[in-house]
């Protein structure tokens, strides 16, 4: 299929095929799942409903194939019908295993086989997760990565929050990654001593917003697999917020994850979501390194601490689930400003800067 990512090709083609039942494109109707390439051929599942007549199914299959060919796909489209199938016309044999070494590991968040990929040449892959968005997951990821670099380790930051990328802003470098045509590798941007890749470097926020599961997975897979992380001690992955299918699929696609850090605020609603994060990692047998309690308090001018989002919620949750709090980070204008100007607060010799450095030290000690 040449060098074109099959998931990108598939989205383009499926976006042009109208589904007569929903009136939307078969892509928007989420009828195309689990793309896998096998040689030049592209295997997908087409999810039909009972209302799809055998003729409608055949038309969709043919149109999809012809759009793919028009877009430059060399092989054939191998479509497997799934979903409600009273009018099942073509029952192709279902592939039993994911194809080893396949290029299109993009898998819809609805399940399907997953090809695990190790991140080449990286000593430890560390996930930073949160149950909720907006709790400071990206801020913690960026400061942890820069802190590790400050300690002299080779550190990388992979911003996998495709729908809300922020690493280029947080590290103050909006430039695009280069490609090494000889080694066929994406070269991460280096900012504050950290190798960084983010969807924010490649597409506009509006564009990324409408990406669906398979495309997101395709992009993340490329970041994991096709980028030059060689020689890093620590690669920090800033996960999309939440504990749903998208996160699960992503976690299952990366092999050799050393541990995870969960970011939460002390607020009850955030803690409830963080608890789900703990459960998710335990189910996947991924070691939980600990929690980071962000926005733990607001410091008043006289030095007293106002627990805006509740008091010691992170510590309570840590005790409840049997883990530790690695850092308590206050709610501070300085942090917000440091994010906006792209100079992580960990670089400052302030109590908060030292708290983030201490977080980096603890993580390095937990994963030597
Ligand atoms: N401790 C803090 N004090 C002040 N502002 C913060 C703090 N942590 C994060 N922020 C700000 O809150 C917003 C959300 O943080 P972010 O790290 O992007 O969250 P997430 O990645 O979880 O969505 C950002 O604008 C960030 O600058
Ligand atoms: Mg974020």
For residue 187, give Cα distances in angstroms to 63, 125, 278: 37, 18, 33
Query: Given this model, what pLDDT does residue 107 score?
Result: 34
Query: Given this model, what pLDDT does residue 104 score?
Result: 32
Tell me if 243 sits within 8 A of 131, measured CB to CB: yes
On the question of a common fold for 6-83 and 117-366, the answer reads no
For residue 245, give Cα distances in angstroms to 88, 233, 242, 284: 28, 29, 9, 13
CATH of the structural domain 117-366, one choice from 3.30.310.80, 3.40.50.2300, 3.40.718.10, 3.40.50.300:
3.40.50.300
pLDDT-based confidence at residue 12 (cuts at 50, 70, 90): confident
Q: What is the pLDDT of residues 60-116, one digit of tens each?
A: 999 999 988 888 888 888 887 776 643 333 333 333 332 232 233 333 333 344 466
What dotted CATH number matches 6-83? 3.30.300.130
Half-sphere exposure at residue 178, Cβ-oriented, CA atoms within 13 angstroms: 6
Residue with tokens 């793309």: 35
Non-local (6+) Cβ contacts of 217 within 8 A are 7, 105, 106, 107, 108, 109, 249, 250, 253
Q: What is the pLDDT of residues 308-324, one digit of tens each?
A: 998 989 999 999 989 99
Q: What is the pLDDT of residues 276-316, one digit of tens each?
A: 999 988 888 889 999 999 999 998 888 899 999 989 899 99
Crossing angle of helices 213-225/6-14, nearest 10°?
Answer: 160
Tell me if 204 sits within 8 A of 195, measured CB to CB: no
pLDDT-based confidence at residue 42 (cuts at 50, 70, 90): confident
Q: Nearest C-alpha to atom 19 of ligand 1 is from which residue? A: 136
Q: Nearest C-alpha to atom 8 of ligand 1 is from which residue? A: 136
Query: Given this model, what pLDDT does residue 83 score?
Result: 65
**Pocket around ligand 1 at a 6 A CB cut-off:** 130, 133-139, 166, 241, 294-295, 329, 331-332, 335-336, 339
Q: Where are the alpha helices (DSSP H) in 50-160?
A: 54-70, 137-150
Q: Nearest C-alpha to atom 9 of ligand 1 is from which residue? A: 136
Q: Ligand 1 center to residue 5 CA distance, Å? A: 33
Q: Quote the percentage of the chain above a pLDDT of 90.
A: 44
Domain ranges of the chain: 6-83, 117-366
Q: Own/partner pairs for 346-354, CB < 8 Å, 24+ apart?
A: 346/143, 346/144, 346/146, 346/147, 346/150, 347/146, 347/150, 347/192
């Amino acid at each position: 299929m040449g060098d074109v990512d099959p998931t990108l090709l598939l989205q383009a083609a499926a976006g042009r095929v109208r589904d007569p039942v929903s009136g939307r494109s078969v892509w928007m109707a989420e009828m195309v799942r689990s793309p896998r390439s096998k040689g030049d051929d592209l295997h997908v599942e087409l999810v039909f409903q009972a209302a799809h007549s055998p003729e409608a199914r055949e038309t969709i299959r043919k149109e999809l194939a012809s759009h793919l060919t028009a877009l430059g796909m060399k092989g054939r489209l191998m479509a497997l019908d799934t979903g409600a199938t009273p009018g099942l016309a073509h029952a192709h044999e279902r592939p039993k295993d994911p194809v080893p070494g396949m290029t299109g590991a993009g898998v819809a968040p609805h399940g399907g086989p997953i090809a695990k990929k190790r991140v080449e040449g990286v000593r430890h892959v560390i996930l930073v997760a949160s149950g909720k968005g907006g709790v400071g997951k990206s801020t913690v990821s960026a400061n942890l990565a820069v802190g590790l670099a400050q300690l002299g380790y080779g550190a990388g930051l992979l911003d996998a929050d495709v729908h809300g990328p922020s690493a280029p802003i947080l590290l103050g470098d909006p430039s695009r990654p280069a490609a090494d045509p000889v080694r066929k590798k994406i070269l991460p941007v280096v900012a504050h001593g950290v190798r960084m890749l983010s969807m924010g470097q490649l597409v506009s926020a509006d564009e990324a917003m409408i990406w669906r599961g398979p495309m997101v997975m395709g992009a993340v897979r490329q970041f994991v697999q096709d980028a030059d992380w060689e020689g890093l001690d620590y690669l920090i992955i800033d996960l999309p917020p939440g504990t749903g299918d998208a996160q699960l699929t992503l976690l299952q696609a990366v092999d050799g994850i050393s541990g995870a850090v969960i970011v939460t605020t002390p607020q009850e609603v955030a803690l409830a979501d963080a608890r789900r994060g703990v459960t998710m990692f335990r189910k996947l047998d991924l070691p939980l390194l600990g929690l980071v309690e962000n926005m733990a308090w607001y410091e008043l001018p006289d030095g007293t601490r106002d627990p805006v989002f509740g008091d010691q919620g992170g510590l309570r949750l840590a005790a409840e689930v049997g883990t530790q709090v690695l850092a308590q980070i206050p709610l501070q204008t300085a942090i917000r400003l440091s994010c906006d100007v792209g100079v992580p607060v960990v670089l400052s010799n302030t109590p908060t800067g030292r708290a983030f450095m201490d977080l980096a030290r603890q993580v390095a000690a937990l994963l030597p």
